[in-house]
Structure 1
Amino acid sequence: MPGAQRFRHSAPDWRRNRRATTSGGSMRTSDKGIAFLERHEGVVLKAYRDPVGIWTIGAGLTAASGVVTPRSQMKITKAEAGRLLGLALGRNYEPAVARTMPGANQHEFDGAVSFHFNTGAIAKASWVRAWAERNWSEVERRIKLWKKGGGRVLPGLVRRRQEEFNLIRLGDYGAGVAGQSPTSERARFVVSVTPAEIQAMRVGFAKLGYKVGEDPGGIRKAAVMQFQRDHDLTIDGLIGRATLSTLQRMLDARAKAGQDGAVGGTAAAGTAGAEAFNIAALPDWLIWAGLGLAVVWVGYRAWQYRDAVAAKIQTAAPATARFLRRF
């Protein structure tokens, strides 16, 4: 694709090379710990926006990682995604876990790295004190408190915290990606999901106008591929982090557009019903100021969800859609 940024990494096994560079006895995430982390984060080789609009690539890496600055149309290889994850862990996450949990066993360290990678809160998490005391019932209770995102409980975080506890306590790295087996007509999940989450995805895709099919245990591959095509994602029919993040972002855009309309409608109805209020009596400058604020607000919403706007207009105005996706 024109303008796409590609990185190549010649090492056949980045994990082996990463272990070879370990020095000074510093503890590092094991291969199984890396696989556990990648299973929860997903590994996406083309940059995408997370639900709040931040460019992301690889195993959930943003510019804040300090190892890559994702941007529109950026692509990386699987090997490069692994190398970047290794750099991010070594610089930003493993040292903090090693300092906070001295003497941890490898599986305890791996579970704590997953937690810290997701929350950035290893230094203040109260479950760590319970771990030091080997109070496992408190470790389980307290780690499960970290289950909210955007102010609401997220099923994916509930499951992740349970699996992290199982890893820390029992050394259980899990059995891989859960979910229904794919068929030729059904999209395959490449991140762990539950039946309830599959149902929520079906509802979400349907709200956006995609025909998910009659099978309650999955989603039509053709619908997923059309969604990916409409939103400039990799068109592979696989439901992973990029597709799910984009789905959530498009649903948020739809909901906020509805809220803005409802607020406007309520205001209009209130104005029409208030007999004592006469808009003609208002000074011209105040009327124009109000209209100006309304235009600014609509413009702000449109820019905030410019990727959603791009998806709507790409057939009629492909050049404008490409321009909006650059930012």
Structure 2
Amino acid sequence: MQTSAPGVTFLERHEGVVLKAYRCPAGIWTIGAGLTAASGVVKPRAGMVISRAEATGLLQKALRQNYEPAVKRTMPGAKQHEFDAGVSFHFNTGAIGRASWVQHWIDRNWGRVEHNLAAWNKGGGRVLPGLTRRRAEEYDLLADGDYGTGPARVEAGLATMVVELDRAELDAAHAGFKALGYNVGDSDLGFTIGGVRAFQRDHDLTVDGIVGRATLSTLQRMLDARAKAKQPAAAAAVGGTESTVQAGAEIDPALAWVGPAILTFAALFALWLAWRYRDAIAAKLAPRFPKLARYLWSI
């Protein structure tokens, strides 16, 4: 048994499909339905663009190689829609072999299946609304064969939303865009299409006015770079306190190395950050030095 066409569509709807390679918040090149080089089916690189059909084909190949075999072993005798739900869960968590809801599914104890499946809704130690919604839809698929529809939301003047954000997530994204200097409005339905396109253009993304995985991942990455950039400056300030010692005051020779060491560490840390977040630097340089920015985006 393999994932059905509706099952692939269900998974793509939840994962999002990006046709131009982008860096995830951790800096790993990603394309399609969240595929990285670790998938074994593609090696995303700067500037890589694929078609929609290629994205689906790569996802199907990754499922056959890396996910479907485990679901076959763990869910013997599954009907097609049950198998598809298991694949979606395993693709997202990698935990089909240890998830307690599976045994309850084997026992046909649907109340426990729903309860235990819903528990897989946390990331970083906190409940994530997006995962709560996904687990609920996976249960509907598992129990009732309901693949859902999930049409993209389009509002006049606003960017198309292909991921669902709750109010807290939406507010955080609004604040993030504005902190980076992009006016995306303050609608509780989304972001202005002009602001989103400006952000996409400045960060070497596909300028399509669609808010999905690539745009939100890049937003988070730029905010992370902004926050981390303040750390070397803080360390340098600490290291520089030696110069504020009152004239004539003696410095313990055993501690004389501390200030220079902190400054050296701050400088090395700043260089490491500059390399790790070179795409953020490229976005800043692009208006005046487009060739240099293009080079930084390419490595």
Q: How many residues align?
A: 297
Alignment of 1:30-69 (within 5 A): 30-69=4-43
SS of aligned partner of 2:41:
coil
**Matched residue type, 1:306:** R
Question: Is residue 310–residue 321 contact of structure 1 (8 Å, CA) maintained in 2?
Answer: yes
Aligned to 2:276: 304
Aligned to 2:109: 135
1:260-288 CA distances to partner (integer Å, 9 max, x unpaired)? 545655676799699xx965745766544
Aligned to 1:101: 75
Alignment of 1:110-121 (within 5 A): 110-121=84-95
**Matched residue type, 1:132:** I
User: Residues 59 and 279 of structure 1: is their aligned pair in 2 closer, same or farther, counting only changes over 3 Å?
Assistant: farther
Q: Compute the TM-score of the two structures, normalised by the length of structure 1.
A: 0.82
Question: Is residue 238–residue 262 contact of structure 2 (8 Å, CA) maintained in 1?
Answer: no
Aligned to 1:324: 296
Verify: 1:86 aligned to 2:60, yes or no: yes
Question: Is residue 74–residue 96 contact of structure 2 (8 Å, CA) maintained in 1?
Answer: yes
1:195-242 CA distances to partner (integer Å, 9 max, x unpaired)? 443333222211211111243322110000000011000001111111
Q: Supply the distance in 1 between the matched residues of 2:286 and 2:126 (Cα, whole angstroms).
A: 33
What displacement does 1:47 show? 0.3
Structure 1 stretches of at least 4 aligned residues deviating more than 4 Å after TM superposition:
259-274, 277-280, 282-287
Aligned to 1:236: 208
SS of aligned partner of 1:316:
coil
RMSD: 2.6
User: Residues 325 and 104 of structure 1: is their aligned pair in 2 closer, same or farther, counting only changes over 3 Å?
Assistant: same
User: Residues 280 and 291 of structure 1: is their aligned pair in 2 closer, same or farther, counting only changes over 3 Å?
Assistant: farther
SS of aligned partner of 1:57:
strand
What displacement does 1:92 show? 0.9
- Structure 2 runs not aligned, ≥5 long: none
Q: 2:135 aligns with which of 145, 153, 161?
A: 161
Aligned to 2:122: 148
- Structure 1 runs not aligned, ≥5 long: 1-26
Q: 2:223 aligns with which of 226, 235, 251?
A: 251
User: Residues 280 and 225 of structure 1: is their aligned pair in 2 closer, same or farther, counting only changes over 3 Å?
Assistant: farther
